[in-house]
Amino acid sequence: MSRYKESRKIAESAKFKAESELFTAKETVKDLASMIEESNLKAKEKIEDVESLKKKGKLEDKASVFTSLKSYRYAEVMKELEVVKHELSELKLEMVSIVAEKARAVEEFEDSSSKMISNGRYIEELRKEIEAANEEHVLVELARIEALKEAADIEAQKEKEADELKQVKDQKHSSESINKELLEAKNELASIREEGFRYMSSMDVIRNELKPVTEETENLKKTEEKTDLRVKSLNSKLLRAKSKLEAVTAAEGKAKSIVIDLSLTLEQLRTEAEASKKEKALITEDITKIEEEIRKIEFEVDSTEGKLQAAVEELEAVKLAETSALEKLRSLIETTMQSRASASNQSSKITISKFEYDYLTGRAVGAEEIADMKVAAAEAWTEALKASEREILKMAKC
């Protein structure tokens, strides 16, 4: 019993330890999943930052930041994976110890069962002895009853003989023999009573011996039931531990796949970084060429603005010439009108020469057309320059 209690304590301590280890492994897996999720979120944020840097043209900074981020994330995941592997190995060792404890408990249960069987056999033998003792006790009781009957008969016979003795006092020899028989009967009755008391005391002893055996049997039955429950509990705990171990193994496989994906992503990012560096070099060359073209265009714009300024000045000079010509024409017209006003009293019509008419109409129309053409040409040239500048700025931004 003490050995069984000790094995039970060991099994309970192993169960408690296994449950605590399983709980710790579960919490570790949860922490690992949360850390991986957190690192994924951080990686997404860094990727968004890198995308913004890419839009601004800082491709080299993007490559360095992304490479450092992936390296840090890879190292962190590998470190967490090693920790999980170590905890899994410890959990497997604990599972092996639990299985050993279960086997030990089963072995002790089998020993207790064999002991219970042997005790049962002993109890059966005791029961047979008790039944035999009971039969002997019954026989003793019957013998005692018969002895009592015989004693009563002897007493009756004694009384009868006493009567006869009164009647026949001279029969001394027969009386002595009767007394002797009576004494023998009394001695035999005393021995029968003593034998009955001895059997009763032996029955009490057997009963007293049977009580602890019965109690031991009951205790063994209870111990067997507790052992069955303990074995069932250990089996259920073992199944739960196996399922949790399978879950942790699946998490480990998932972590390995994540590490492989991260490695592939890192290689891809390195390739993209190299391509970005080459692209940046090409863009730098294009920007240099575009800047040279911008300088050329600016020079052309400056020269064109000079030409345009000269054309504007020429236009202003033409306008001044036209203004002076118009002033001269007005003065000539006024003179002509005055001379013709004096002649208008004689005629209601005013007559001008063909030269004056052609000069007035042709000069005004020609001056207006020339001015419109020059202004339109200057505006078209200015718009063309602005469009060229916008196109160059677009190319530089891209």
Residue 349 has pLDDT above 60, yes or no: no
Note whether 80 and 32 are within 8 A (CB): yes
Give the model's confidence band at 59: pLDDT under 50 very low, under 70 low, under 90 confident, else very high.
Answer: very low
Distance CA 305, CA 298 (A): 10
Distance CA 126, CA 209 (A): 9
Residue 79 has pLDDT above 70, yes or no: no
Note whether 158 and 182 are within 8 A (CB): yes
- The mean per-residue pLDDT over the stretch 49-77 comes to 51
Q: What is the pLDDT of residue 208?
A: 72
What percent of the chain shows pLDDT beyond 90?
0
Q: What is the pLDDT of residue 4?
A: 43
Q: What is the pLDDT of residues 276-334, one digit of tens each?
A: 788 888 878 877 887 787 778 777 767 766 776 776 677 677 777 767 777 776 777 67
**DSSP code of residue 346:** T
Determine phi and psi for 206, rounding to 5 degrees.
-65, -40
Q: Where are the beta strands (DSSP E) in 90-138?
A: none
For the chain, first and last CA: distance in Å?
89
- The mean per-residue pLDDT over the stretch 147-171 comes to 66
Output the pTM of the full model.
Answer: 0.27
- The mean per-residue pLDDT over the stretch 213-228 comes to 74
- The mean per-residue pLDDT over the stretch 174-198 comes to 64
Give the model's confidence band at 24: pLDDT under 50 very low, under 70 low, under 90 confident, else very high.
Answer: low
Distance CA 192, CA 186 (A): 10
Q: What is the pLDDT of residues 238-264, one digit of tens each?
A: 788 777 777 777 777 787 777 787 778
- The mean per-residue pLDDT over the stretch 63-72 comes to 48
Residue 22 has pLDDT above 80, yes or no: no
- Please give the C-alpha separations between residue 122 and each of 210, 213, 253, 264, in angstroms, as whole numbers: 10, 9, 59, 75
355's enclosing H/E stretch is helix 354-397
Q: What is the pLDDT of residues 352-396, one digit of tens each?
A: 555 555 555 555 556 566 666 766 776 777 777 677 667 766 766
Q: What is the pLDDT of residues 82-109, one digit of tens each?
A: 665 566 566 656 666 665 665 665 566 5
